């Protein structure tokens, strides 16, 4: 029987609640498909600051490197907002991504027909949306040096090397080959030198993928096109900060930020997390939507090669939504019954083991 070591980072805010539900579902499909998951918990973000005075302890990095995959919830909260930058939860997550070499973040946004009414956009605009944002995750303005803040002036540096652009472009073209074979590379090449290099490099990598259609789009236009006609997109390839922004936008096409999973890959071990934050305002109330995390767990199983188990989860989510169960974020949309975080997890686990 295959045995997989999973590093679990529940994090802050709603993190623990949603990760618990993902584990419930993972256990259900593991026993069905005959593999074993061994979980080890590590701290990151605010909860790590509280214990170790460090948002990304070495122990956590080591624990992740020793695992086959990392399942992550969310980090952050008001309590830690006023700490110096190196002590803030967000810094911990960035350090972990960097330490694990996770330069590629894949964020699929696939519409559930059952939730067509949950989006603020018209059903006919979003029906059939199936896109994937490939976001560069360990470079760009998030990590560029120099960076500084004084009382009167502050700056960051948006920087990409050719090599960094090449490897993320490869991930995007590979992703497109598995999908509808179209890449939209998003940049701001009409203004930024870093985007000029981005565009040229993506063109070069494209030569190795003649079957894939490539188009370039300025980020402002992309933000507009995403709500005007999201169906035109297959793979969106973009840098760190543009990808951060566009993936939040993409989540609202689907109806709730509580629905978008992500896979961070490129290093020795993949990390799987919902795209949303720790939502401290609703933590502990049992109303968080665990679906983004459960979908992330399914992406993790795909990554581990347990594709049948992953499929079980995806189908189970669809079925539960079809039956009309909704967490509070989706409560007003064709809900038969509004359920708690825990109930949603149990329903999905049950369906997934049928």
Active site residue 188: yes
Q: Which two tokens stand for residue 247?
A: 């993936």
User: Rounded to an integer, what distance in angstroms lies between the CA atom of residue 238 and that of residue 172?
Assistant: 9
Active site residue 130: no
When asked if residue 136 is in the footprint of Mn ion (CB under 5 A), the reply is no
Query: Which member of 50, 220, 281, 308 is catalytic?
Result: 220
Q: How many residues bind ligand IPM (CB under 6 A)?
A: 6
* Selected binder of ligand IPM within 90, 196, 342, 343 (CB under 6 A): 90
Catalytic residue among 244, 302, 328, 329: 244
- Identify which of 313, 314, 326 has the alpha carbon closest to the alpha carbon of residue 25: 313
Of 11-19, 56-64, 89-97, 313-321, the segment contacting ligand IPM by CB under 6 A is: 89-97
The verdict on whether 4 is a catalytic residue reads: no
Return the number of the residue (24 or 98) whose C-beta is nearest Mn ion.
Answer: 98
- Give the number of other CB atoms < 10 A from CB of residue 281: 10
**Residue 348 interacts with, from ligand IPM, Mn ion, none (CB under 5-8 Å by kind):** none
Q: Is 297 in the site for ligand IPM (CB under 6 A)?
A: no
Rounded-to-integer distance, Cα 158 and Cα 244, Å: 14
- Chain positions 236 to 295 lying near ligand IPM, rule: CB under 6 A, are 244, 275, 277
Task: Tell me whether residue 244 is one of the annotated catalytic residues.
Answer: yes
CB nearer to ligand IPM: give 114 or 244: 244
Binding-site partner at residue 93 among Mn ion, ligand IPM, none, CB < 5 to 8 Å by type: ligand IPM
E strand or H helix at 270 = strand 270-274
- Token readout for 268 is 């020795």
What does 343 bind: Mn ion, ligand IPM, none (CB cut-off 5 to 8 Å by kind)? none
- Determine whether 220 is an active site residue: yes
Rounded least distance, CB 26 to Mn ion, Å? 24
Q: Does 244 engage in binding with Mn ion (CB under 5 A)?
A: yes
CA distance linking residue 20 with residue 293, whole number of Å = 10
Q: Among Mn ion, ligand IPM, none, what does residue 169 contact (CB within 5–8 Å per kind)?
A: none
| 144 vs 123: CA distance, rounded Å | 40
Q: Which of 297, 291, 302 is nearest to 345 (CA)?
A: 291
Q: Please, how many CA atoms are within 13 Å of residue 85, restricted to the half-sphere of its CB?
A: 7
Confirm if 340 and 286 have CB atoms less than 8 A apart.
yes
3-state helix, strand, coil in the chain (%, to 5): 50, 20, 30
Among 9, 67, 69, 93, binds ligand IPM (CB under 6 A): 93
The two beta strands, 104-110 and 261-265, are antiparallel
By Cβ distance, which residue is nearest to Mn ion? 244
Active-site residue identified among 188, 303, 325, 329:
188
The sign one gets for the Cα dihedral 117, 132, 223, 144 is positive
Task: Tell me the β-bridge partners of 108.
Answer: 132
Provide the token pair at 155: 């700056």
Question: Which is the catalytic residue, given 142, 209, 303, 325?
Answer: 142
Residue number closest to ligand IPM, CB atom? 90
90 binds, among ligand IPM, Mn ion, none (CB under 5 to 8 A by kind): ligand IPM
Listing DSSP states for 120-137 in one string gives SS-HHHHTT-EEEEEEE-
Contact residues for Mn ion, defined by CB under 5 A: 244
Contact residues for ligand IPM, defined by CB under 6 A: 90, 93-94, 244, 275, 277
Residues catalogued as catalytic: 142, 188, 220, 244, 248
């Amino acid at each position: 029987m295959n045995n997989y070591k999973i590093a679990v980072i529940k994090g802050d805010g709603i993190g623990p609640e949603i990760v618990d539900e993902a584990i419930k579902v993972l256990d259900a499909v593991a026993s069905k498909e005959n593999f074993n998951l061994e979980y080890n918990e590590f701290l990151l973000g605010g909860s790590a600051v509280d214990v170790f005075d460090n948002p990304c302890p070495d122990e956590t990095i080591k624990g992740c490197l020793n695992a086959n995959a990392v399942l992550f919830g969310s980090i952050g909260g008001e309590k830690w907002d006023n700490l110096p930058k190196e002590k803030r939860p967000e810094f911990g997550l960035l350090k972990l991504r960097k330490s694990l070499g996770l330069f590629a973040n894949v964020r699929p946004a696939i519409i559930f027909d059952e939730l067509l009414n949950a989006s603020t956009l018209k059903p006919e605009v979003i029906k059939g949306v199936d896109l994937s944002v490939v976001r560069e995750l360990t470079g760009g303005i998030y990590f560029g040096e120099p960076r500084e803040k004084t009382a009167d002036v502050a700056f960051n540096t948006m920087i990409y090397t050719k090599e960094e652009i090449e490897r993320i472009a490869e991930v995007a073209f590979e992703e497109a080959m598995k999908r509808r074979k179209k890449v939209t590379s998003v940049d701001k090449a009409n203004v930024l030198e870093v985007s000029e290099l981005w565009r040229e490099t993506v063109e070069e990598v494209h030569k190795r993928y003649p079957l894939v259609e490539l188009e370039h789009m300025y980020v402002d236009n992309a933000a507009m096109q995403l709500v005007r006609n999201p169906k035109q997109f297959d793979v969106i390839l973009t840098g760190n900060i543009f990808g951060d922004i566009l993936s939040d936008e993409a989540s609202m096409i689907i109806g709730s930020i509580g629905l978008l999973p992500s896979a961070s890959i490129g290093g020795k071990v993949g990390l799987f997390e919902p795209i949303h934050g720790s939502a401290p305002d609703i933590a502990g109330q049992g109303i968080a939507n665990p679906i983004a995390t459960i979908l992330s767990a399914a992406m993790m199983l795909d990554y581990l090669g347990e594709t049948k188990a992953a499929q079980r989860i995806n189908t189970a989510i669809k079925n539960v939504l079809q039956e009309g169960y909704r967490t509070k974020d989706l409560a007003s949309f064709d809900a038969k019954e509004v359920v708690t975080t825990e109930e949603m997890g149990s329903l999905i686990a049950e369906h997934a083991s049928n």
